[in-house]
Amino acid sequence: MTAPKLRFAPSPTGFLHIGNARTALFNWLTALKTQGRYLLRLDDTDRDRSKPEYERAIVEDLAWLAIAPHEIVRQSDRLELYAAAAEGLKRKGLLYPSYETPEELDRRRKRQLQRGAPPVYDRAALRLTAEDRSRLEAEGRRPHWRFKLTGQVVSWEDGVRGSSHIDTASLSDPVLIREDGQPLYTFTSVVDDAELGITNVIRGEDHVTNTAVQLEIFAGLGAAPPAFAHHNLLTTASGEGLSKRLGHLSLRGLREAGIEPMAVAALAVLTGTSEALQPVGTMEELAEHFSLDKVSRASAKFDEHELEALNGKLLHKTPYALVADRLIAEGVDAGEAFWLAVRGNCGKLTDAAQWWRIIDAPAQPQIDESDRDFMAEAVATLPREPFGEASWREWTSALKERTGRKGRALFMPLRRALTGLDHGPDMAHLLPLIGRGRALKRLQGEVA
């Protein structure tokens, strides 16, 4: 049995956002689960908008998500294939030249709407004689090329939506090649999927109508179509569609904001499915929670607060070995004990640097005047080193017995004196890291 082959086909006209990541990940996880192959196809035939920097960013963003394509192709390298396929369709009478200008087409649509008719192209170009075409070209017009739909109901079994069908009689014959000779996505995608042996296409539900058209193009080319699955779309919390223009939702923007790649992956994949949103550490673990039959038909809402919370939950369970190099890059060469002490209070990895400064750099203790006598007792009862896991409990138990304080009145003044804050990691873990010498000075009100 041939291994499945899937593809992710972005246009390098902007940065990928978390909605694009949803499609990229659905295909990647399916390839992982089926031992399939994963192709990155850069749809760069739009010469005006496609940029090398966006192409590089796409590859980098996928690598950040731990997606490693087995193959990368560019549509700009495949123009001869599209030209040959177009000639084949022309010979079959399935691709025909049309000469209307955009303004003429717009006026025609408006007239149809005024009459209560659907704004479908009326195939006027098919009624042109050879003389008509010569005259129009003599006027300087160049044709765009339309594919002649069958006008029949096209059906397929969708991997998410189940039994699906579109009546192509309700659609305009699609333009496959522009006046300047540029082939368009609807056409190039079909040629590539057929020639590259793509077996499964997983993409957003905004392509459902495209699928009916493309199935007819596959038939026109005499090529076997892949299996199609159309997943629900990720929207903003208010229900708006995501866009490359929303920079803060780009993968690059999320990375710069300190969001972990597996937090992005988990939210992009699990939101809008029957699986509960939860932190996962690896793609293999995420693949265990993913299947297309769990994807809802309703839209999936992206909530930035949910992503931030998920990011924290992921860090809270991340082992030191996976963050050691990144901590050092942040200037935190503190070892495993430190990470295990503070990770539960890190919403982002960069938060660790804040806790390290509190431990390793001079900190301003916060001591109320009413707590001065209590601090003297704290100094007198502070255990000798070496500190261990039990030192905090032994110390506070002794203080409780000598002062009668308990609960918040006992613990909060100590935390504020030792860290300068009224919140943070478990003091039982912080005290050994602060050390006795620095602790004594801070309890006495010194910046240390």
Q: Record the pTM.
A: 0.92
| Residue pair 189/211 in contact by the 8 Å Cβ criterion | no
Domain boundaries, the chain: 5-83+184-234, 247-322, 362-443
State the amino acid at position 402 in one-letter form. Answer: R
CA–CA separation, 365 and 428 (whole Å): 18
Three-state secondary structure call for residue 6: strand
Fold of 247-322: Glutamyl-tRNA Synthetase; domain 2 (1.10.1160)
pLDDT given at position 244: 58
pLDDT given at position 245: 59
pLDDT given at position 312: 98
The tokens for 396 are 């506070």
Three-state secondary structure call for residue 423: coil
Phi, psi for residue 408 in degrees, rounded to 5: -60, -35
362-443 — its CATH code?
Answer: 1.10.10.350
Which CATH number, 3.40.50.2300, 3.40.630.30, 3.40.50.150, 3.40.50.620, labels domain 5-83+184-234? 3.40.50.620
pLDDT in tens, the chain (448 residues): 689 999 999 999 999 999 999 999 999 999 999 999 999 999 999 888 999 999 999 999 999 999 999 999 999 999 999 999 999 999 999 999 999 999 999 999 999 999 988 999 999 999 999 999 999 999 999 999 999 999 999 999 999 999 999 999 999 999 999 999 999 999 999 999 999 999 999 999 999 999 999 999 999 999 999 999 999 999 887 777 776 555 558 999 999 999 999 999 999 999 999 999 999 999 999 999 999 999 999 889 989 999 999 999 999 999 999 999 999 999 999 999 999 999 999 999 999 999 999 999 999 999 999 999 999 999 999 999 999 989 999 999 999 999 999 999 999 999 999 999 999 999 999 999 999 999 999 999 999 9
pLDDT given at position 241: 77
State the amino acid at position 430 in one-letter form. Answer: L
